[in-house]
Structure 1
Amino acid sequence: MPAPDNSGENPYARPKNPNARTKKCANAFWVTSPGQSELRQESLNVPAQDEVLIRTLYSGISRGTESLVFNGRVPESEFSRMRAPFQAGEFPGPVKYGYCSVGRVEEGPEALIDKTVFCLFPHQDHYVVPASAVLEVPSIVPAKRAVLAANMETAINGVWDAEPMLGERVCVLGAGVVGLLVAYLCARIPGVNVHLIDINPERRAVAERLGVTFCAPEQAPDNQDCVIHASGHSAGLRQALELVGGEGRIIEMSWFGEGDVSIPLGGAFHSQRLTLKASQVGQLPPKLRPRWDYQRRLQLALSLLADERLDVLISGESDFDQFPALAPRLFGRSSAELCHRLRYPV
């Protein structure tokens, strides 16, 4: 048995950060119950040597997933799989949820001090995380635009799963942020003919700004090699089955939460030997796993945000302290928001 330590130091304590100052308090957005939210104050630990204290500049609202969380529509079977990296609390609530945070390092390793970084952290004005959990935002990417990094990651994974090839005809159904980013990425592949389809005619201007051909559902071309579905509605998935050609593939990127989805598999699905494949950002495609990890994918996502045209995906901005009052509208079924950005006090 080791001799007792009479030095007064705890041998199991976290190593102290010599640059650390006093303990801070933070304000965080919590979903308290389905459809209800508030800002809560919490104390932060003084950062250890391998941690950073972040002052948030902006966070982005990933409306598709966060609306399911806000409205209490995460299925119990998915409680574990749908946890955000730094989530606090449990579904359906109270829960602190989110993953699009951009901030400035105030304390931590010298190499990171005053750097602008991205972190998969919920909506909160200050926070402490391991230094390994943040990535520096490239100097050519404005902090305001970097809130799109998590959505770009999802889009990258969707394109990897779809595997569009030179000369293919591809339709993307659903012009939310992820659908727009998927279409944007596919359109950059030489020879790929991309159509973005949505019921909202106002999405045409956004698509054209990104260099993507837009059309209404009734104008959508058929006999497609690949259809990527990201509308979040069963009607969109049904149309995906109608648009794809023989031996074609449908990539399902929507997450329906607790909703039931009815699709007609008794028609051409079997006779044309169609493939329906799920894409989910929580897993890398199997063939990439020997060489890629989540950090490398996130670095790629941040680098792809250098294009200033992507600013068109930010459809609104408000102060962080207004979030609880705005949340019912932002997460309502009638919301037409793309990415809503929250700005934090300087």
Structure 2
Amino acid sequence: MDASPNKPTLLSRSFWIEEPGIGAIRSSELDCSNVKVAEEVLIQARFGALSRGTESCVFQGRVPETEWTRMRCPFQEGDFPGPVKYGYISVGRVLDGPADLTERDVFCLYPHQTLYTVPASAVTPLPDGVPAERAVLAANMETAVNVIWDAAPVAGDTVTVVGGGVLGCLIAYLAKRVPDVAVSVVDPDALKETIYQSIGVDFCHPDKAQGGRDIVIHTSATEAGLRLCLTLARDEGRIVEASWYGDREVTLPLGQDFHSRRLQLIGSQVGMVSPAKRSTYSYADRMALALGYLTDPVLDTLFTHEIAFDDLPERLPEFAVNGSGVACVRIRYPDDT
């Protein structure tokens, strides 16, 4: 499809949160006139995914007003709490643009939309061996890479991840690649155990979690989960908080043995490259690294649900509130947009 000069505009459809708890598909004319002259690319979306933690907060209107600016995604339209077009997981085919990108599949941090244009610099071509269906894990893998940089496990460490969702799984997957690191995942949802069996990581209920861990990484976005992390870390152990709670407050027992045990509590967030790698890795470098890890077909076990793009207004509410047995929810776009 060549949108310019023959078709300077095309019809595109996008998912919007009209107000907290209510979504809709909007249609609009997409201006493609700059594709040939401004180093832009025209992309037809093929697959997307829900980032359940963040997008649940956005969908439910739980982004604190203090974070409205910091929480904007790269190509967001509208403002919190709504109407807002929000999302950052899109894998699509370049229909028009620079010759070295045309007809290639790429990843882009773009909201849920069938057709869109972005600067060519905003896309990352998929490496060989990474199918478009699996590449939607790239955003979460990028976060996992950043968390691993912040946690800094070394050979011989014991690592526990509290929270068995997509991010927790990818963190465990990366931690397991460090030589002689013992990795376990703790989650109350027994339905997720088969996922961890497939990647060779120990899985257990919180009641059976072992303490004395060198590093504990939290991804459950629950107060109970973070409290558990304090009990699982060894004295002088490192706790890395990778959850985002939106507008919820969390209370921790820091007046007991927290100080005498000299525990370290570290916040990790993907919005900035970890200080450990900031001088050597750009955002583009980090994304390319994350995509390179997605050649392993074992990661396909993370896809527990798939929904059609047009069903997002109806289906998103159920995934925003119910996480039982849910890992990655993949979005499939229609072939004919």
Mapping of residues 38-187 of structure 1, within 5 Å: 38-46=24-32, 47-48=34-35, 49=37, 50-187=39-176
CA distance in 1, matches of 2:155, 2:254: 29
Q: CA deviation at 1:288?
A: 1.5
Distance 1:64 1:20 in 2: 42
Q: CA separation in 2, counterparts of 1:230 and 1:333?
A: 16
Amino acid at match of 1:186: A
5+ residue gaps, structure 2: none
Q: Determine if contact 2:227/2:252 at 8 Å carries over to the other structure.
A: yes
Inter-partner Cα distance in structure 1 for 2:276 and 2:97: 36
The change in CA–CA distance for 1:102 and 1:20 in structure 2 (over 3 A counts) is farther
Equivalent of 2:295 in 278, 288, 306 = 306
CA contact (8 A) 1:227 1:250 kept: yes
Structure 1 pair 97/335, CA: closer, same or farther in 2 (3 Å)?
farther
Report the CA distance shift for 1:334/1:82 in structure 2 as closer, same or farther (over 3 A): same
Q: State yes or no: 1:297 paired with 2:283.
A: no
- Could you say which structure has the larger radius of gyration? 1
* AA matched with 1:80: T
Q: Secondary structure at the match of 1:271?
A: coil
Cα distance change, pair 337–54 in 1 and its aligned pair in 2 (3 A): same
Measured after TM superposition, the shift of residue 276 of structure 1 is 0.3
2:8–2:31 Cα contact (<8 Å) kept: no
Residue of structure 2 aligned with 1:230, choices 214, 219, 222? 219
Within the alignment, does 1:240 sit opposite 2:226 as a pair? no
Structure 2 residue 246 is matched with structure 1 residue 260: no
Cα pair 2:44 2:115 within 8 Å, conserved? yes
Task: Give 1:111 shift.
Answer: 1.1
Shift of 1:45: 1.3
Aligned mate of 2:11, from 8, 25, 34: 25
Give how far 1:336 is off: 3.8
**Residue type at the aligned position of 1:142:** P
1:287: Cα distance to partner?
Answer: 3.3
Return the alpha-carbon distance in structure 1 between the equivalents of residues 315 and 239 of structure 2. Answer: 35
Cα distance in 1, alignment partners of residues 304 and 296 from structure 2: 17
Q: Report if aligned partners of 2:189, 2:324 keep a CA contact under 8 Å in 1.
A: no
Unpaired runs of at least 5, structure 1: 1-16
Structure-2 separation of matches of 1:200 and 1:79: 32
Aligned residues: 330
Deviations 1:306-341 (A, max 9, x none): 000000111111211111111111111455421111
Tell me the CA shift for residue 345 of structure 1: 1.3
SS in 2 for 1:208: helix
| C-alpha deviation, 1:21, in angstroms | 3.7
Instruction: Please report the TM-score for the alignment, with normalisation by the length of structure 1.
Output: 0.93
- For residue 244 of structure 1, what is the amino acid of its counterpart? A
Q: TM-score, normalised by structure 2?
A: 0.96
CA contact (8 A) 1:19 1:107 kept: no
Per the alignment, residue 198 of structure 1 pairs with 187
Q: Secondary structure at the match of 1:57?
A: strand
What percentage of aligned pairs have identical amino acids? 48
Change (3 A) 1:52 1:20: farther
Which secondary structure does the structure 2 equivalent of 1:112 belong to? coil
RMSD over aligned CA atoms reads 1.3
